[in-house]
């Protein structure tokens, strides 16, 4: 069904949305979407750093005991 929507159809939908919600509401909504995306990316980055730190802390020291005493 959505395969039949062309450029005129998309323009019509954009005009209807603009009339219904107004320019200010749409711009504030897009600003909130941008903030949400930024927060999501930051959360993913923090999560991956936390996992890397945790795995580094849990890493086993496989150095033989005789080598540890030399250092």
Count CB atoms within 10 A of the CB of residue 67: 9
Domain contains 49: yes
Domain contains 69: no
- Asked if 18 and 26 count as a contact pair (C-beta separation under 8 A), the reply is yes
Domain contains 67: no
Instruction: Give the range of the structural domain holding residue 35, as residue numbers without chain letter.
Output: 23-55
Q: For residue 53, what pLDDT band results from cuts at 50, 70 and 90?
A: confident
Number of domains in the chain: 1
Of 38-42, 44-48, 49-53, 65-69, which gets the smallest average pLDDT? 65-69
Domain contains 38: yes
Residue 68 confidence (pLDDT): 61
Domain contains 15: no
Mean pLDDT over each residue of the chain, to the nearest integer = 83
Domain contains 17: no
Domain contains 11: no
- Asked if 50 and 59 count as a contact pair (C-beta separation under 8 A), the reply is no
pTM: 0.53
């Amino acid at each position: 069904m959505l395969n039949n929507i062309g450029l005129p159809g998309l323009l019509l939908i954009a005009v209807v949305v603009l009339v219904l919600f107004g320019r200010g509401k749409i711009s504030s909504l897009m600003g909130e979407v941008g903030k949400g995306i930024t927060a999501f990316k930051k959360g993913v980055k923090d999560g991956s750093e936390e996992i890397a730190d945790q795995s580094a802390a849990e890493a086993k020291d496989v150095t033989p005991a005789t080598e540890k005493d030399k250092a």
